[in-house]
Amino acid sequence: MEEEDTRDYSEPCVQCSVINWGLTDEGRFYCKSCHNVIERTKEVLTSDVVPNAKIQSISRGFRKRKKIDKGWEWYVCEGFQYILKKQAEALQTLGVCPQMKDEILCNFWRLYLQKSKQAYCTTPASYTSKALSISDISTDVDSEPERINIHGLSSFSESDGDLQTESSFGHVSSIGKTSARETTSVCSGSIDGDSYLLKRKKGNLRMSMPMTLSFCYIALLWLREPVTLSDLLRFVKDGHIPYLNAFQYFPEEMKLYGADLKIFRVESWPVYEDVHNKMSELSAFLDLPCFPAITDSCFLHPNILCIKYLMEANLPDELHNWTCRVVKKINVGETDFLTLDPMNKSARKVKYDVLAAAIIIVVLKLLFLLDDQYEWLHANIAGKRNQKNKEGCLWFDFKKWYKVIKKSVDVEQKKLDEERARYLWKCEKPLFYSAKEKSVVLKKRQMVVNLQRQFGTLSGSIQVAEKQSPSSFQLNWAEENTDGNCFHGHVLEGVLQEKGNSLTTMNTKYWLCSVKLCNEKICGQLTHYKESDFPQTYQFVLNLFSFLLRVPASLIHEEVCLIEHKLFKTKLHRK
């Protein structure tokens, strides 16, 4: 306050000729160099009449706040751009192709800004029509904007690294440099935060935090990177990709306040279906062409994904032959089916990881029935046979596999629950809205950290280890282990029989999870999953893949029902 009251008085001291004024307790000016007190006093800022008071000076009205206190004038889309940039950099650190950030994601983002009329257009949509008139908007772009080419723009690194450059956001930065909010409060936050939360027009896609992950996923899908949506969300939940409290990576000058916190602060983990649905809406909103083809050599092809999940679930390698047969039978390995085409609105968007998991479950039902009876009868036979013939290939023992998997999953689930319980949802970087608050807030935060450290030392709690680099596999099984817990090399003897020149299942029965599918438009989903209606073995297998993919079991169950109806379409039609 002392600097604000004295900074407009620029007369030098009559004794030492230095301009360095301060205020005494009585409000009089004194020189900080030679301590000379002069007749000038603090300006009167109140309009109240004080009787018998001598007026020393007249207030000159409101003063402009310091630029460092006020912070930058910024828009919500600039905040999302900064988050997207950080997420792309995190994915690059995990091994994703550098082309993803600079050539694909950057151009998808610019295309979104153009489609939503926030930038790269003749008349950008103004969320603050009361504060900014049309005459305030810069008009330094062509009158007829061209559609942005996916491969024809520069990268985040080249032009968007500095959020305040005009090349970064076109009109957005130009609007931000107007003088409409020079007298706005320090705590105001973004320019368009309040209006951004208002109801949008039909067909306009509003940006949100889950939408940032949808942007990342369509960029990964465009490049056919070996990362599924479940992998992406797992990396987010494990803290390898910025999502929760991502606004803490904003520059200090980008102040968040009020409505900004509702936009950028999330208090829950991203949901698989929500991100996937937004991905479909986003690709259609951007009018993207057909994505690069998903062929049988791509990681996202079900034949390859099934290998990954069979290894992670510790199942026999021979099952892969049966998953390939199912894929071929129901035509889910065709390029036209797997490749995303945003223009084909009638086509169902494929959930690649969920599809592969469901195929494996259907194969297990074909071989072992999973009805709480047949699989255990075969397990008893396989167990006795393995005890007598310990040399050579071992038969797959479903009962032993069940025990090994359950023990490992329980341990990993307990670790996961403990990590979730210890997670601090509150932002590590405290928020402050002026330079004066900064020291106080940081001091309080440091006190909290010190108290937590001292309490942990006194209670003897174990210090949390540093985060390890993420892996595509959550469960690892080494075949060279002598404890016999790896089932990859086990054979499917006892459940298969030769019929002509091919192998068929000895089990001739099969039970359907759902005899009739629901109308998705009416019910909102194709099937309804209630655990008590299904055998416990089926529930266990379903929950296993639910854990591996970090998705609800009902989502995998729905995909299982769809595959069954395709596989037994002829028989169901006859009935």
Q: Could you tell me if 355 and 332 are in contact, meaning their C-beta atoms sit under 8 angstroms apart?
A: yes
- 3-state SS track over 401-455: HHHHHHHHHHHHHHHHHHHHHHCCCCCCCCCCCCHHHHHHHHHHHHHHHHHHHHH
Enter the tokens of residue 442: 């940081």
Q: Which amino acid is at 145?
A: P
SS3 29: strand
DSSP 8-state code for residue 496: E
Q: Residue 267 above 50 pLDDT? A: yes
- How confident is residue 482, by pLDDT bands cut at 50, 70 and 90? low
Q: State how far the Cα of 4 lies from the Cα of 280, in Å rounded to an integer.
A: 53
CA distances from 358 to 449, 546, 557 (A): 46, 10, 7
Of the two residues 501 and 180, the one the predictor is more confident about is 501
Q: Residue 170 above 80 pLDDT? A: no
Region 232-255: mean pLDDT is: 89
Q: Residue 147 above 90 pLDDT? A: no
User: pLDDT per residue over 426-441, tens digit each?
Assistant: 777 776 666 667 677 7
DSSP character string of 306-340: HHHHHHHTT--TTHHHHHHHHHHHHT-S-HHHHS-
Q: Residue 107 above 90 pLDDT? A: yes
Region 367-376: mean pLDDT is: 94
- How confident is residue 463, by pLDDT bands cut at 50, 70 and 90? low
Q: State how far the Cα of 239 lies from the Cα of 295, in Å rounded to an integer.
A: 32
Name the least confident of 184-188, 254-258, 272-276: 184-188
Quote the distance between the C-alpha of residue 276 and its chain's center: 11
SS3 30: strand
Q: Residue 549 above 80 pLDDT? A: yes
Of the two residues 279 and 433, the one the predictor is more confident about is 279
| Residues 492, 496, 498, 501, CA torsion sign | negative
Enter the tokens of residue 368: 């072992």
Name the least confident of 43-52, 169-178, 398-407: 169-178
Region 412-426: mean pLDDT is: 85
- How confident is residue 224, by pLDDT bands cut at 50, 70 and 90? very high
Q: pTM of the entire structure?
A: 0.78
DSSP character string of 16-75: T----EEE-TTSEEEETTT--EEEEEPPP---S--TT-----------PPPHHHH-----
Q: What percent of the chain has pLDDT over 70?
A: 76
Q: Residue 419 above 90 pLDDT? A: no
Q: Residue 152 above 50 pLDDT? A: no
Burial 496-505 (b: 16+ CB within 10 A, else e): beeeeeebeb
How many other C-beta atoms lie within 10 A of the C-beta of residue 71? 22
Region 114-130: mean pLDDT is: 70
Name the least confident of 94-103, 126-135, 551-560: 126-135
Region 6-25: mean pLDDT is: 77
Residue 199, pLDDT score: 66
C-alpha closest to that of 557 among 569, 571, 541:
541
Q: Residue 150 above 70 pLDDT? A: no
- How confident is residue 183, by pLDDT bands cut at 50, 70 and 90? very low
Region 355-366: mean pLDDT is: 97
| Residues 361, 363, 364, 365, CA torsion sign | positive
Q: What percent of the chain has pLDDT over 90?
A: 43
Tell me the sheet residues that pair with 7.
none
Residue 129, pLDDT score: 42
Residue 346, pLDDT score: 81
Q: Could you tell me if 201 and 71 are in contact, meaning their C-beta atoms sit under 8 angstroms apart?
A: no
Residue 309, pLDDT score: 96
Enter the tokens of residue 137: 């908007």
Of the two residues 169 and 402, the one the predictor is more confident about is 402
How many other C-beta atoms lie within 10 A of the C-beta of residue 421? 7
Residue 54, pLDDT score: 41
Residue 516, pLDDT score: 85
DSSP 8-state code for residue 462: P
Helices (H), 423-552: 435-459, 520-523, 536-549
Burial 551-574 (b: 16+ CB within 10 A, else e): bebbbbbbbbbbbbbebeeeeeee
Residue appearing with tokens 């024809």: 152
Q: Residue 562 above 80 pLDDT? A: yes
Residue 81, pLDDT score: 94
Quote the distance between the C-alpha of residue 418 and its chain's center: 21
DSSP 8-state code for residue 200: P
Q: Could you tell me if 495 and 374 are in contact, meaning their C-beta atoms sit under 8 angstroms apart?
A: no
Residue 232, pLDDT score: 96
Of 42-51, 72-81, 204-213, 219-228, highest mean pLDDT: 219-228
- Please give the mean pLDDT across all residues of the chain: 80
Of the two residues 570 and 529, the one the predictor is more confident about is 529
Q: Residue 557 above 50 pLDDT? A: yes
Residue 52, pLDDT score: 46
